Amino acid sequence: MMLDQREDPEQLALLRQQYGFDQPLPVQYGRYLMHLSPVRPTTDGWTLDWPDLQTSYQRPGTSVVDLLAATFPNTLLLAVLSMVFAVLLSIPLGIASALYIGTWWDRGIAFVSTLGMAAPSFLVAILIAWWLGFAWHDWTGLPLTGNFRELDDYGESMHLHWKHAVLPALTLGIRPLGVLIQMMRSSALDVLAQDYIRTARAKGVTTAGLVWRHVLRNAFNPLVTTLSGWFAGLLSGAVFVEAVFGWNGTGKLMVDALNGRDLPVIMGCVLFLSVVFVVLQALVDAAYGFLDPRANRTFTA
């Protein structure tokens, strides 16, 4: 595939030697691990350098690190926008569902959240793309595909297009929205059943005061872990959404690499997203201890 129409035995042998395909698999694996290590042997001794994820097969001379550096900011932006959309809607809807438990408002919110959790991302992406990007395009003005940063027609200046992020961010945020609504409702109900809430009500504290002073902070603690898991999942699970909307992110990069059998790019994306997931989990542990000091005391004990 890399040689295209120029394939011949000599060129194929040179290509195998260049990429190390002529070596046994254990040797290839060992060389890959050696390039991942920041400390590597050289002819003069040892050197300290950034991990090397090798170069792309389909884009000779292009480093996988450069590809990730060009695409991951777009995926990160899409994940942040999706999570902000989910959080901003889930908190008021979850609290409202807890305050009006058993009413038609509670049942309606539960139906919407369950539907959002059950809908696969690729199906939602196709439906939203057709509905808002095609059928109602004259009314919404939202494009079906497009990147956040695009060059003008002359290729001279870069323009930012926020409207290109609306549909993929909406699609990606629907599933975490449904989960966070149910989590917020359950947490709010637990807080509202506490003794100090009944004492505050007896003292004449209004519902708005209870929600603002007590329910929000105490009910938000269990959501931190859920938010971290979903945020890491959005970073790695945006493959179908980015592919449908043509969003130039890491997910689309992985799809193109899978179609082209570009193994270094696939392995680089998986390793990089794994590191991001671990780092996010560590940050969440620190954030949870800040929000709930009792967690630090329990861990210390």
Find the range with the poorest average confidence among 99-108, 126-135, 228-237: 228-237
What does the pLDDT average to over 83-92? Answer: 89
The predicted model scores a pTM of 0.78
Which amino acid is residue 36, in one-letter code?
A: L
Integer Cα distance of 49 and 39 in angstroms: 7
Integer Cα distance of 43 and 46 in angstroms: 8
Count CA atoms closer than 13 A to 13's CA, side-chain side.
3
Integer Cα distance of 58 and 62 in angstroms: 9
pLDDT score recorded for residue 137? 82
Q: Nearest 5 degrees, angle CA 13-CA 14-CA 17?
A: 85
No. of helices (H) and no. of strands (E), the chain:
14, 4
Nearest to 183 by CA among 233, 238, 224, 228: 224
Cα four-point dihedral sign 191, 193, 196, 199: positive
Q: Specify the 3-state DSSP secondary structure of 176.
A: helix
Domain residue spans in the chain? 4-48, 64-300
Q: Which residues contact 244 (CB under 8 A, 6 or more apart)?
A: 122, 125, 126, 129, 168, 171
Find the range with the poorest average confidence among 145-154, 229-238, 268-277, 292-301: 292-301
pLDDT score recorded for residue 142? 83
pLDDT for 265 beyond 90: yes
Q: Which of 46-50, 181-185, 205-209, 285-289 has the highest mean pLDDT?
A: 181-185
Task: Write the CA distances from 233 to 72, 119, 229, 294, integer angstroms.
Answer: 14, 16, 6, 28
Contact in structure between 178 and 120 (CB atoms under 8 Å): no
Q: Specify the 3-state DSSP secondary structure of 24.
A: coil
pLDDT for 139 beyond 80: yes
Residue 39 bridge partners (DSSP): 48
**Run of H or E residues at 296:** helix 293-300
pLDDT score recorded for residue 294? 59
Q: Which residues contact 103 (CB under 8 A, 6 or more apart)?
A: none
pLDDT score recorded for residue 299? 45
Integer Cα distance of 48 and 235 in angstroms: 29
Q: How confident is the model at residue 152 (pLDDT cuts 50, 70, 90)?
A: low
Q: What is the pLDDT of residues 228-246, one digit of tens each?
A: 777 777 776 678 888 888 8
Find the range with the poorest average confidence among 40-54, 58-72, 92-106: 40-54
- Higher-confidence residue: 46 or 70? 70
Class of domain 64-300 as given by CATH: mainly alpha
